[in-house]
Amino acid sequence: MLMTGKEYIESLRKLNTRVYMFGEKVDNWVDHPIIRPSINSVAMTYDLAHDPEYKDVMTAKSNLIGKIVNRFSHLHQSTEDLKNKVKMQRLLGQKTGSCFQRCVGMDAFNAVYSTTFETDEKYGTDYHKNFVEYLKYVQENDLIVDGAMTDPKGDRGLSPSAQKDKDMYLRIVERREDGIVVRGAKAHQTGSINSHEHIIMPTVAMREEDKDYAVSFACPSDAEGLYMIYGRQSCDTRKLEDNADVDLGNAKFGGQEALVVFDDVFIPNNRIFLCGEYDFAGMMVERFAGYHRQSYGGCKVGVGDVIIGAAAVAAEYNGAAKASHIKDKLIEMTHLNETLYSCGLACSTEGCKTKAGNYQIDLLLANVCKQNITRFPYEIGRLAEDIAGGLMVTMPSDADFKSDTVVGNNGETIGDICNKYFAGSDCATTEERQRILRLLENVCLGTAAVGYRTESMHGAGSPQAQRIMISRQSDLEGKKKMAKEIAGIKEK
């Protein structure tokens, strides 16, 4: 059964998820003003699945249970599924102007599904069967699963097993007849607190000495020994202010990251998907990274649409919409945004079937997509800030615009003065101008920047990670051979 957004929020209240923020435990984290906007973003992924207008992109028929499921819990069965995934992500970016947090779990499902199949093929293990049964459970209950890959890493120059502190990469600390015990942490975890479950993957390719770190499994978000420390975002405490609305820019939606700590957590055998088979850690990482780099050609484009729209509105409110340089900047922003979308669709269209039967994107084009994502959103944001003007970052608080404190010689209040001197074109009120500039501040610099600008750089791997994959996938020797043939140079 497909849950509604309201039902999803209520389902979170049944969990005993342990959340910490500002050095203290947060008991009612579902209604906490800093956390709730991120929950609202996730709820949108549920509500749109019930909207007939978006049925084709938001849902799909499961190949496992034969029922209609939310696309976020679906295994891609064709290149059309891969393209619909990107279209869904763009739609949600447009609807929330923020990160909606379910992409990592979806990408983990598809990577773990195919990797476990090939692991079993070599070693005769039961990991694929374990995962299929687990995903059936997720689909039947319409759950959100946080895909967790990134370890703290410690000294980046050392392998997992060579770290001074062995917990810098999540590892197996005990093997039991009925399961394993794991210890460590996963950092920068998008939507972790808002998820019912977690699916864990290794974060780098492994060698034999790292086999205790070559582990993949699933566990409930409120498992014994698991807790989360909420990550700070720029301007986050504005949400704690009384009557916070205008100054937030995007009062309803937001993203969320956390450090997820595994303090000797027990994982039963039927929820283990990799356990020491170090030679398959790299495959899982590479496939997940490919899927997730494809994702950015959708979600960041949707938020980009919001930025372009907000910049155009800001230009109108500033009285500058007809200026040729403003029009040209909006054209450039659109060009960059649509280029990113083209990359997301291209790597989907060129996808292929895995041995397990689900579809995988073209890895080279997915990495090209993400490499562009590390650059273009920064330029889109820069142009938006250029169009908006300096008031975006120097504007007084909304409390000043509403203040009745008298300061002028003619009995003027602080509110009167602010509304007078920060007025723009007659096509908008001063408050409307405030609101659109605060939205741009939120997406370009504030809490939403975590899910747009900075995540564009570091999410799914920092720029060098894509460049390594582009080099590996580029078939340079094949290109050299083409050139030699055309030039009439014989192979030696």
Overall domain count for the chain: 2
Compute how many other C-beta atoms are within 10 angstroms of the C-beta atom of residue 237.
Answer: 13
Q: Please tell me whether residues 276 and 292 are part of one structural domain.
A: no
Q: Would the CA dihedral through 409, 414, 420, 421 be positive or negative?
A: positive
Six-digit token pair at 338? Answer: 């649509």
62-78 mean pLDDT: 98
Taking a C-beta distance cutoff of 8 angstroms, is the pair 253, 196 a contact?
Answer: no
pLDDT at residue 419 greater than cutoff 90: yes
In a shared domain, residues 96 and 171? yes
Pick the range with the lowest mean pLDDT from 73-82, 178-187, 215-224, 240-249.
Answer: 240-249
* Residue whose structure tokens are 């959100």: 144
Compute the distance between CA of residue 96 and CA of residue 99 in angstroms, rounded to an integer. Answer: 7
pLDDT at 83: 98
pLDDT tens for each residue of 84-99: 999 999 999 999 999 9
Residues 6+ apart with CB under 8 A from 124: none
Mean local confidence (pLDDT), 435-456: 89
Rounded Cα distance, 432 and 386, in Å: 19
Q: Could you tell me if 108 and 139 lie in one domain?
A: yes
For residue 73, the tally of other CB atoms under 10 A from its CB is 23
Query: Do 286 and 461 form a contact (C-beta atoms < 8 A)?
Result: no
Q: Which of helix, strand or coil describes residue 481?
A: helix
* Consecutive H or E run containing 40: helix 36-47
Q: Taking the mean position of all CA atoms in its chain, how far away is CA 57?
A: 18
Beta strands 59-61 and 68-70 are: antiparallel
CA dihedral 239, 197, 3, 44 (to 10 degrees): 30
CA torsion, ordered 131, 137, 142, 146, to nearest 10 deg: -40
Report if residue 315 sits inside a domain: yes
Residues 189 and 333 in one domain: no
Reported as a single tens digit per residue, the pLDDT across 242-285 is 988 999 999 999 999 999 999 999 999 999 999 999 999 999 99
Answer whether 255's CB lies under 8 Å from 190's CB.
yes
Which conformational region is residue 389 in: left (phi greater than 0), alpha (psi within -120 to 50 degrees), or beta? left
Q: Is residue 144 part of a domain?
A: yes
Residue range 346-374, pLDDT digits in tens: 999 999 999 999 999 999 999 999 999 99
424 and 343 in a common domain: yes
d(CA 114, CA 360): 9
Ramachandran region, residue 431 (left: φ > 0; alpha: ψ -120 to 50; beta: rest):
alpha
Distance, in Å, from the CA atom of 239 to the CA atom of 247, rounded to the nearest integer, reads 9
Q: How much of the chain exceeds pLDDT 90, in percent? A: 94
Residue 487 lies in a domain: no
% of residues, the chain, pLDDT over 70: 100
Distance CA 449, CA 235 (A): 10
Q: CA–CA separation, 340 vs 337, rounded Å? A: 5
**Closest to 450 in 3D by CA, of 275, 226, 269, 250:** 250
Domain coverage including residue 458: 286-475
3-class secondary-structure state, position 24: strand
Tens-digit pLDDT profile for residues 111-147: 999 999 999 999 999 999 999 999 999 999 999 999 9
Q: 155 and 55, same structural domain?
A: yes
182 φ, ψ to 5°? -120, 150
Domain boundary among 263, 280, 297: 280
Q: Is residue 236 part of a domain?
A: yes
Any domain includes 61:
yes
Is 492 within a domain?
no
- Two tokens at 86? 């990107």
374: CATH: 1.20.140.10
Residue 491: pLDDT over 90: no
Task: Quickly list H helices, 319-375.
Answer: 324-349, 363-373
One domain for residues 193 and 306: no
- Compute the radius of gyration of the chain from its Cα atoms: 24
Token look-up 């977690």 returns: 198
Q: Which of 280, 299, 319 corresponds to the end of one domain?
A: 280
Across the beta sheet with 24-26, the strand order is 24-26, 19-21, 226-230, 258-268, 179-186, 171-176
Given a contact cutoff of 8 angstroms between Cβ atoms, the answer to whether 337 and 410 are in contact is: no
Assign 492 a pLDDT band (cuts: 50, 70, 90).
confident
Q: Same domain for 263 and 343?
A: no
Distance separating the N- and C-terminal Cα atoms of the chain: 64
What is the per-residue pLDDT across 3-28, written as a single tens digit (0 to 9) for each? 999 999 999 999 999 999 999 999 99
Q: CA 223, CA 264: separation in Å to the nearest integer?
A: 10
Model confidence at 450, in pLDDT bands (50, 70, 90)?
confident
Two structure tokens written together for 186: 């996963």
Count CB neighbours of 47 within 10 A.
Answer: 17
Q: Which amino acid is at 50?
A: H
Asked if residue 377 and residue 303 are part of one domain, the reply reads yes
Considering the domain architecture, whether residues 233 and 299 belong to the same structural domain is answered as no
Residues 40 and 145 in one domain: yes
Question: What backbone phi and psi angles, to 5 degrees, belong to 466?
Answer: -70, -35
**321-340 pLDDT, tens digit each:** 999 999 999 999 999 999 99
Q: How far is CA 416 from CA 318, 399, 406, in A?
A: 19, 12, 9
- Predicted local distance difference test score (pLDDT) of residue 126: 98
Q: Is residue 480 part of a domain?
A: no
Q: Which residues are catalytic?
A: 99, 103, 190, 257, 292, 296, 299, 455
C-beta separation of 311 from 340 below 8 A: no
**Which class for 155: exposed (0-12), middle (13-18), buried (19 or more C-beta within 10 A)?**
exposed
Q: Does the predicted model carry a pTM greater than 0.75?
A: yes
Task: Provide mean pLDDT across the span 450-475.
Answer: 90
Same domain, 85 and 181: yes
Contact partners, residue 477, CB within 8 Å, separation at least 6: none
Q: Look at residue 201 in the predicted model and tell me its pLDDT.
A: 98
Residue 488 counted as domain residue: no
3-state secondary structure of 361: coil
Q: What is residue 265's predicted lDDT score, i.e. its pLDDT?
A: 98
